[in-house]
Structure 1
């Protein structure tokens, strides 16, 4: 068994910053961790180390749409007009294009400091809406992209059945997403096979939303999670809340909490438009809220009341969602800035016990993301060796130390501040660049040509 030894001048461990940390990595895990010790001959030496962040919500294929929906339409633009553009983009993707675009997205995630992704995967069938011979063909393509890039994968095959509340028939643009309950069960089984060779892979279930799945259908598919994660979009848009009220007399989060067994396995993605009572209900159930600040800003969703939620003891993580811009630090920065703008204050997300906003954001996103994705995200002996190092000589970190490094990375640096990234003990990013970025980038550009210029 080959071993690698890393030494960090300072490393963020579960009990805080620790100087002089030596890690021995073997079989993808941390075999030994020794604190306050000198480096040994042959050790790889690094200055500033962090655990890798979980990205709890991604639609990888949408990376190919970045910048393509930023022109004003004939009428007022909204999430719903954006969705129509997304449907048109989906129409021209084949399996090769799904894999190539996902690989590019995963490369950029790793380069920004994400080491695990929750892939909320809902394009299942061919362009005519017919299942592939292997119902998990496209899930297997996502898994192949994760294998090539090295990112850890929590695969969340999506159950999608309807076009609106109350079980409305699916629209033509949704034909590639739709399954009934039996076929969805086959998809989950085949998806588990598709990820079986990936170290640390997790499979969960993902009812798309209360618009696309009825409460009864959601209850029926929950056993397929087999104790794993359950993710759902909820209360992202005001129209969604209004339509849910008109149909059921309840708001989306209120309905979920009332009619389904929401617990610590669940991730409520967005939950943008919640009342105080709903926020308290999420906390009481122990669920995680999945916040995607870059996408939520891009789509005009609104702002989740994160400060009040955290003060109640709520758990959250961050995700890159539409992947219009992939930057772990920027997700955290925009989360904080949204609260500042809505509350007319500063340092909104800092906790009384942790004055540093950067540290407060990082710790919360690390813990909440790990809970939501069903995988640990901590640096300790026996745990996966998923680490990030920052560039100590970057101007954003100059003359800083410990939590000030996190403040500098998140508010003054961003992805350019990331130096190296290890996933399962393998160094995948060096000097901020993924080891396969050039080849994957070429395939990505070729795939986009096919999607945007179909013959």
Structure 2
């Protein structure tokens, strides 16, 4: 990779917008020099608009892109997360590595256009449908790695510990057989990814949920990860039934159990964490863990709303994720992060904090997602500053949603004025993967994705 010099009229640096920013990229695709208030150097073409760092998508199930929009009818008296899950298993049970590669490549291209430059793949579809490993044991993981490399997005692979169907159900259901992975296998899969690590690829580990993993296996995985600086992700407290079942089985609420077991630290990423109380939030803050909120999926599934003001007051980093892929742009996720609270609390700009010098809702949410996303991806630093990976988004000021917006309110309009065009240009690790709204190979990937969808849904209305 060649060293590069860029120049932006405005850039979002630590602390907010700065003017006339010189940007130098080293041969490893990381920021080497970031210097505001610098005249445009001779021979350097200015970037076409203001720039922001790319954002980390902290929670993704790539295969569910093939299910987005196909669970929006109710044929029975009730419809909730659990009935949605049973229908989603049709896709989980049908895909093979080649299909997953096509689905993931289409998704990852969309995520880049939505402003994400790194995706954390919470991956639990491991084996053949009946549960036997593929001849190439990590074939499904490799399909994700190849899809991300083709598109150019950064990828954090999270193999998932998954052993049982529930607290009182010691075995997996037949339609869950291909998900099975024990602690040793999770660690082996993560290690295999780490061994092929490059500027855009890393690995962590994950636990599907407390209901899906035995306590001794969770502790074993924690022991294997002793000294490991990668992230540890877990679905937790997404559904009231999960909380009730955890109380019945352990006497403790899910986040409470994790804290009392001494498991939580700064590597832990608590995905959803919807049904938590104030004591649990304070425990998470004390341990330095991150909460990963997925607003569009949580709305789509009827999960409920977490106590976002309490998380923010406690100073817990809040990352965001696309999860089930019903939305694939961070602007919409951040918008609904605050809109959900407005509807619940009947108040506006719930996430602003003027008393703390943070009157702008979008800026507070954006900075939290930026910081929380770094932790979720296992990155020591993230953003436009020396040492961080050279990722950036170039804003298209020709977008009608931004017309006439004062420069100081640009981020407000990006989040709360919609719809808007995708980013004009996107860079990942010093490589332009979107230029003037165009993406290499997009039409071919869409064709492959459409072929997979036809195979999955042939005969459906």
Shift of 1:256: 1.3
> Which residues in structure 2 correspond to 1:251-262 (within 5 Å)?
251-262=253-264
Shift of 1:124: 0.4
Shift of 1:372: 1.8
Matched, 1:443 2:443: no
DSSP 3-state at the match of 1:45? coil
- Which residue does the alignment assign to 1:9? 9
- Which residue does the alignment assign to 2:26? 26
Shift of 1:444: 1.0
- Which residue does the alignment assign to 2:215? 215
Shift of 1:397: 1.9
The 2-side partners of 1:399 and 1:49 are apart by 18
Contact 2:327 / 2:333 at 8 angstroms: preserved in 1? no
> Which residues in structure 2 correspond to 1:31-430 (within 5 Å)?
31-39=32-40, 40-166=42-168, 168-193=170-195, 196-225=196-225, 226-352=228-354, 353-375=357-379, 376-413=381-418, 416-430=421-435
Q: Deviations over 1:190-212 (max 9, x none)?
A: 3334xx15324221110110011
Q: Deviations over 1:22-53 (max 9, x none)?
A: 21323212233232223232424222110111
Pair 1:417–1:190, CA change in 2 (3 A): closer
The 1-side partners of 2:58 and 2:407 are apart by 25
Which segment is superposed worse, 32-41 or 421-430? Answer: 32-41
Q: Deviations over 1:42-73 (max 9, x none)?
A: 42422211011111000011001011111112
Contact 1:164 / 1:212 at 8 angstroms: preserved in 2? yes
**Aligned residue-pair number:** 452
CA RMSD of superposed structures (Å): 1.7
Q: Deviations over 1:342-375 (max 9, x none)?
A: 1111111112322111111110100011112111
Which segment is superposed worse, 332-341 or 19-28? Answer: 19-28
The 1-side partners of 2:194 and 2:169 are apart by 28
DSSP 3-state at the match of 2:453? helix
Shift of 1:180: 2.8
Contact 1:283 / 1:314 at 8 angstroms: preserved in 2? yes
Shift of 1:252: 1.1
The 2-side partners of 1:414 and 1:279 are apart by 34
Q: Deviations over 1:304-336 (max 9, x none)?
A: 111121012121110000111211100000000
DSSP 3-state at the match of 1:413? coil
Which segment is superposed worse, 48-57 or 214-223? Answer: 214-223
Contact 2:157 / 2:190 at 8 angstroms: preserved in 1? no
The 2-side partners of 1:244 and 1:197 are apart by 37
The 2-side partners of 1:441 and 1:43 are apart by 33
Shift of 1:8: 1.1
Pair 1:197–1:221, CA change in 2 (3 A): closer
TM-score by structure 2 length?
0.94
DSSP 3-state at the match of 1:57? strand
Which segment is superposed worse, 361-370 or 23-32? Answer: 23-32
